[in-house]
Every structure is written in C-alpha cells, then in structure tokens.
Amino acid sequence: MADSLSLKSLFSSDGALSKVFTGFKQREEQLTMAEAIEDVIESEESICIEAGTGTGKTFGYLVPALKAWHQQDKKVILSTGTKNLQDQLYYRDLPNMRKALGVSPKIALLKGRNNYLCLYRMEQSLDSGQFQSRSMADTLVKVKSWSRQTQSGDLTQCSDLADGDALWPYVTSTNDNCLGVECPDYADCYVAKARQKATSADVVVVNHHLLLADMVLKDDGFGELLPDADMVVVDEAHQLTDIAHSFYGQRLTSRQLMEVCRDTELEALTTAKDDRQLSVSVRRVEGAVNEVRLSLGEAGQKVNWQLIASPELQQKLKELEKELLALCERLERHASRSKGLDSCHRRCEESLQSLSLFNSSFDNSEQTKSYEAVRWVETYRNGFAILETPLNVSESFARSRKEHAATSWIFTSATMTQADDFSLFKQELGLEQAKELILPSPFDYEHQAILHIPRSLPDPRDRAYISTWQKEILPLVESNPGGTFVLFTSYAALNKVKELWQEQLSGKELFAQGDLPKNELIERFREAGDAVLLATSSFWEGVDVKGEALSLVIIDKLPFSAPDEPLIEAKIQAARKAGKNPFFDIQIPQAIIALKQGAGRLIRDYSDKGVLVLCDPRLIANRYGQKFLKSLPPMKRTRDKAVVLEFLQSLSLDSDNKDADNG
C-alpha cells in the first residue's frame, strides 16, 4: 500500500478494495466509519460506533487498522462475539484485506483453550481405559489419529468429534486443570503454541472472553494472553457488558467440582494407587455434589442465593464443604507425587474457599456486599453454578482499560443505542469520555420493509394473548411466499404455538428450536426457502438468512428481561435505592437493544424485502412504545392486515418474475 493512499481512494468504487472483493459497493457510511477510526487512532482516543446492518463495519475497521499497522507499526487486537465470526475474520476477511491493501502483517487466531486438543489429557484418558461408553472410546481413538495430522490442534476442525460430544472435557483443558509450563507435553502443546503465535503477531483475532481474560490478567499458567497492542477493536460490542459481569464476578460450578474428582481419579490411577481412601473421598464429594443438585429442584432456574437457602439445602451445602475439606486434606498428602495431583490439590483448595465463602453468608445472614454484588444460583439439567456477580462493572472495566497498553479503543455493533442515545452502553462500561458515531443502514427500509403492529390484540398478560395473536398471524405466515421466523420471549409460548401450528399450518415445513443443532436448523430452514422457524433468544442475534428464504419476522412480545432474574432484580433494587426509575433506566433500554437485534434478522441485503410483525400492543398503548419504535430502522408502518397481505403478494410476484427472467 502506498503510504499516501487515502481512505477515500481505497474505498472508492474503483479503489483497491473493488479489485479484490467481487461486488464491492462504495458506501458513504463505511468510509465515514473508517475515517472516524483513523482519527481516534491518531488522537489516541476511544469511540463507540453504531453501524446499521449493511454498513460493512468489518471493512470499516479493518482498513484503518491495517493502515495504522503499515504506516506506524501499530499492533491490533480484534475481538468478536462468536467463534464463527472469529473464523470468518481470520480465514476470509483478513487474508483478502491483506491482499487488497498489499500489506502483510503477521496475523493470528486465538480461541478459548476449550477449543484446542490437550495432549496431556488425551493421553491420560487413553491410559486410563475408563470410558462411559464404547462410542466414547472409539471417538477418542479417532481424535488420537487426527492429532497426528493437525497443525493447530483446533478440535472444531476434527470431523469425528461432534459439538457437545461427551468426550470434549477428556481431550481439552481448563484454566484449572492445565499444568502449564510444568506439563510434560508443554513443548508440543497446542494452547501454548497458539498463544505464542498470538503474542508475536501484529493482528490477533480473539473473542470477548479472551479479551477480558487478558484484561483481568487471569493467572492460568501461561501469564498474559495477548500482545501489547496499540488498539483494540471490539465488534459485536453490545455483548461485552454481560460477559464483563461474569468476568469480574466469582463462580463455583458443579462441573468444576466433578472435574477435580475425575482428574484426581485419573491421576491416582497412575501415581497414587496405594491410597484407596483417595477414591473413597472422591466418591463422597461426587455424592455430595449430586445431593446439592437434587435439593436445588428444577433445571433452568436462576434464583437469588437467599431465596433458595432452605435449611435442607444449607445442610447439603455444609456437607459438601465437609467432604471437600476431607478430599483436600487427602490430596495434600499426595500433592508432591505428581504435578497432576498437586494441581488437583490446588483446585480443590480453591473450590473449598469459594464454597466456604458462600456458605458463611448463611451464618452471618449478610445478603451480599450490600448492593455491590448479587449472589445467586443457576440450575442446569445435570448441574448447578453458585455465582457472585457485581452489579456494576464500569469501574473495573475502566481500570482494566487504563492498565492495558492500548491507546485507542473502538467499540462497534449494529445495536448499541436507544433512540440514538449511547448513554447506557457508555455508563455500563465506564466509557464516558469515548466519542460517538451513529451510521444508519444504507438499506432502503422505506421500500424494502413494512412494520406491522396488528390491531385489537389483548395485553400480553391476558391469558388469551398467545392463542389470539397466533390466530391473527397465521394467514400472514401462510401467504408469505418466503420463509418466516417467529421469535419468542419464552419457551412456554414457543411450545404452545408449535403445538397449535403442527395441526393448523398448511403447506409449509415447520421447524422449532431444539429440533436440530442450531447451525443445522438454520441450514435446513434456508434450503427450504419458505419454511417457518420458531425460536427463542439465541436466534434473536447472529443469524443471517438473506433473500426470500426469510421475508417475514414475527416477534411475540417486547423482550423485557424477567424482573425476578437475580442480576436484574438486584440492579432494579439498587436503581430504586439511588432514586432512579428502574423500568425506564434499566428494563426499557435493555429490551430496546434486544428488539433491535431481533428486528435486524429481516433485511440483510440491498435486494431483501420483508415484513416485521410486532405483536405486542403495548407499543401503541403505552407511551414508552415510542421509544422502541424510534429505535427501529425507518420502515413503513401499517396496522392494516390487508396492506401486509398485498405486500407479501408482491414478493411472490417479484420471485415469479425473477424465475421467468432466469428461465
């Protein structure tokens, strides 16, 4: 890249990007974004950029970042929300952008350690010969054979190991069980190699968990994770606050405890066979963990610590503490016999300390650190987590940023503001000084989309709400020539509509979340072209279905977080105490971001057309509805079903005409 090349010329319709990226379109918004980033790199400031769908924000930040590396040797960390986005950046966007700009920074991809094969644990599992099933043993042999050819050790590329396979924890490591530099396999360790490559790279692609892990300098046996970068770009930045809450908090999970037990057993098989009591202690801890899980009741609950603390549960937790102490003492005797046993002892001690801390709050009836953090429990099908989450991470995040080497921070996403206001995002992360930029989507929403709010639906609290709206909507779904997403705020509503539509929906394939793994489900939906997919929160964002395969998006209710979720409940209480209105200051802003994400599934390209249906009548009946509507792209609005049917009909004609042209 010639040093004198301006962003304007690079982004022009016959500029360097157009030569490499087929179909590249010059977009004013994209250039504005790149120029704003170039300015903050120069002035060593930070910026929050909301870039509407279709702005092309990836190129908007990659070009100024690579230019700054080329001209000023500035190192870059790119942090994204998901593994898929990491892969897309590392394997597709960055190599193409290097080519387009004619620059060659060293690039690296760093994923969480649970993606990489752990040689030590794989060999340990093979040696133990103890498997839950025959198929687990077979898969382990296949992973071993794959390990002979892989360069990266990235297990997501091992086709024999399916997502969610029970073998994963046996062939990957955690911060807790990794032996670090003392591991006998350290010289060949894939995690260590990926991290070494990252520390010497000019551009590193990470996810938000790793970025935060690096920022809070978690001591996990490898020291710092990432190089001292000059700038950090946080894409999908709207996800950062929630992830930060978990990073600056504490957690103790049944999985951690079970893993210590399992690792102790594996280690004992080779280095402490003489102490049969060790195995007995392990069994007793496992039993006590299971007892606690049973006492916690149903899966899927998030409950304040104080509310679940029945005398029976308190007793089970105290018993678990007692058994953990016994295991800890026994492990202490063997810690010097192997690095593995030493590590099990350390982890057992740490878990014991956390549990004692949680249990002690029963004795002194202190709720938590009064309005600073909330203690709560989450239950899963086979386990539980006990957590302490800070209510406010702004100071911690601001401090971590101050201690970080980067001088420019770029936060970007399609959904950061409420009615063009960045306040909440900035307050939550302590970014008050950051600059702001809002870039509207370049799509022509006026002509590409319609927003429909049906007439005469009851209030969502009405018992007849679901049955009424689904009846009202069904004709639209059946008339839609393309695909339909129905996004729910609860599984209960999803299941009810699924049951009804399995009977009533005609001529369309009906899919529901949980029928297949997420990626497979989306692929089947896309291929069908006119299917209906019922889904909840995990499909509200990050799903990209372009064209006719998705031309109708229906949202059942405004996505307010449940006010009895411990973190939300505690934030509401703290806001009240501070004299604020929690509904307006917390719940509405959060729901607006979620609604923007859901609505963003509809128009994904310049030629996309479609209808967004928001069933919730509170959008019209309540004054706050305006705030939601103002935050959505500028679509034509109608309450008239006939107008929607006509629009859907026109989509059908469009597609017939296209077929005729192609024919």
Please provide residue 27's backbone torsions phi and psi, each rounded to the nearest 5 degrees: -130, 120
SS3 content of the chain, % helix, strand, coil (to 5): 55, 15, 35
Nearest to 339 by CA among 262, 263, 256: 263
- Which CB atom, from 117 or from 574, has the smaller least distance to ligand SF4? 117
Which amino acid, residue 19? K
Buried b vs exposed e over 200-221: b needs ≥16 C-beta within 10 Å? ebbbbbbbbebbbbbbbeeebb
Question: Distance between CA 358 and CA 616 in Å, rounded?
Answer: 41
Q: Is 185 in the site for ligand SF4 (CB under 6 A)?
A: yes
Report yes or no: 386 and 305 within 8 Å, Cβ to Cβ.
yes
CB of 340 vs ligand SF4, minimal distance in Å: 9
CB of 428 vs ligand SF4, minimal distance in Å: 34
Q: Is 341 in the site for ligand SF4 (CB under 6 A)?
A: no
- Which CB atom, from 175 or from 359, has the smaller least distance to ligand SF4? 175
Question: Distance between CA 89 and CA 108 in Å, rounded?
Answer: 10
- Which CB atom, from 178 or from 266, has the smaller least distance to ligand SF4? 178
CB of 114 vs ligand SF4, minimal distance in Å: 10
Question: Distance between CA 285 and CA 260 in Å, rounded?
Answer: 10
Which amino acid, residue 288? A
- Which CB atom, from 112 or from 529, has the smaller least distance to ligand SF4? 112
Which window, 140-148, 181-189, 223-231, 245-253, contacts ligand SF4 (CB under 6 A)? Answer: 181-189
Q: Is 266 in the site for ligand SF4 (CB under 6 A)?
A: no
Residues 6+ apart with CB under 8 A from 144: 122, 126
The dihedral sign for the CA sequence 222, 224, 229, 233: positive
Q: Measured in Å, how far apart are the chain's first and last C-alpha atoms? A: 44
Hey, what are 588's tokens? 């509405």
- Which CB atom, from 124 or from 239, has the smaller least distance to ligand SF4? 124
Please provide residue 613's backbone torsions phi and psi, each rounded to the nearest 5 degrees: -110, 120
Which window, 113-121, 406-414, 431-439, 565-573, contacts ligand SF4 (CB under 6 A)? Answer: 113-121
Report yes or no: 65 and 230 within 8 Å, Cβ to Cβ.
no
CB of 178 vs ligand SF4, minimal distance in Å: 3
CB of 251 vs ligand SF4, minimal distance in Å: 21
CB of 183 vs ligand SF4, minimal distance in Å: 3
Eight-class DSSP state of 154: B
Which one of residues 49, 76, 110, 178 is an interface residue with ligand SF4 (CB under 6 A)? 178
β-strands 384-390, 373-379 pairing: antiparallel
CB of 457 vs ligand SF4, minimal distance in Å: 54
* C-alpha 189, offset from chain centre: 27
Q: Is 183 in the site for ligand SF4 (CB under 6 A)?
A: yes
Which window, 117-125, 159-167, 291-299, 380-388, contacts ligand SF4 (CB under 6 A)? Answer: 117-125
- Which CB atom, from 100 or from 179, has the smaller least distance to ligand SF4? 179
Please provide residue 398's backbone torsions phi and psi, each rounded to the nearest 5 degrees: -60, -40
**Stated length of the chain:** 663
Which one of residues 191, 533, 543, 588 is an interface residue with ligand SF4 (CB under 6 A)? 191
Q: Is 331 in the site for ligand SF4 (CB under 6 A)?
A: no
- Which CB atom, from 193 or from 518, has the smaller least distance to ligand SF4? 193
Which one of residues 120, 376, 409, 511 is an interface residue with ligand SF4 (CB under 6 A)? 120
CB of 26 vs ligand SF4, minimal distance in Å: 46
Q: Is 173 in the site for ligand SF4 (CB under 6 A)?
A: yes
Q: Is 344 in the site for ligand SF4 (CB under 6 A)?
A: no
- Which CB atom, from 119 or from 327, has the smaller least distance to ligand SF4? 119
CB of 567 vs ligand SF4, minimal distance in Å: 32
CB of 173 vs ligand SF4, minimal distance in Å: 4
CB of 261 vs ligand SF4, minimal distance in Å: 18
Restricted to residues 398-427, the positions that interact with ligand SF4 (CB under 6 A) are none
CB of 472 vs ligand SF4, minimal distance in Å: 55
Residues 6+ apart with CB under 8 A from 91: none
Query: Rg for the chain (alpha carbons), in Å?
Result: 27
Question: Distance between CA 77 and CA 12 in Å, rounded?
Answer: 26
- Which CB atom, from 140 or from 494, has the smaller least distance to ligand SF4? 140
Which window, 49-57, 146-154, 180-188, 377-385, contacts ligand SF4 (CB under 6 A)? Answer: 180-188
Judged by CB under 6 A, the number of residues near ligand SF4 is 14
Q: Is 118 in the site for ligand SF4 (CB under 6 A)?
A: yes
Which window, 65-73, 119-127, 355-363, 639-647, contacts ligand SF4 (CB under 6 A)? Answer: 119-127
Between the CA of residue 633 and those of 86, 451, 612, what are the distances in Å?
27, 10, 11
The dihedral sign for the CA sequence 89, 527, 548, 445: negative
- Which CB atom, from 189 or from 591, has the smaller least distance to ligand SF4? 189
CB of 91 vs ligand SF4, minimal distance in Å: 23
SS (H, E, C) 272-294: CCCCHHHHHHHHHHHHHHHHHHH
Report yes or no: 59 and 17 within 8 Å, Cβ to Cβ.
yes
- Which CB atom, from 123 or from 319, has the smaller least distance to ligand SF4? 123
Between the CA of residue 565 and those of 248, 301, 562, what are the distances in Å?
19, 9, 6
Which one of residues 62, 76, 189, 260 is an interface residue with ligand SF4 (CB under 6 A)? 189
Question: Distance between CA 190 and CA 161 in Å, rounded?
Answer: 17
CA dihedral 284, 287, 289, 293 (to 10 degrees): -160
CB of 108 vs ligand SF4, minimal distance in Å: 17
Question: Distance between CA 472 and CA 355 in Å, rounded?
Answer: 51
Strand partners of residue 253: 385
Q: Is 168 in the site for ligand SF4 (CB under 6 A)?
A: no
- Which CB atom, from 120 or from 465, has the smaller least distance to ligand SF4? 120
CB of 123 vs ligand SF4, minimal distance in Å: 9
Report yes or no: 204 and 76 within 8 Å, Cβ to Cβ.
yes
- Which CB atom, from 218 or from 508, has the smaller least distance to ligand SF4? 218
Which one of residues 119, 391, 494, 549 is an interface residue with ligand SF4 (CB under 6 A)? 119
Q: Which chain residues interact with ligand SF4 by CB under 6 A?
A: 118-121, 173, 178-180, 183, 185-186, 189, 191-192
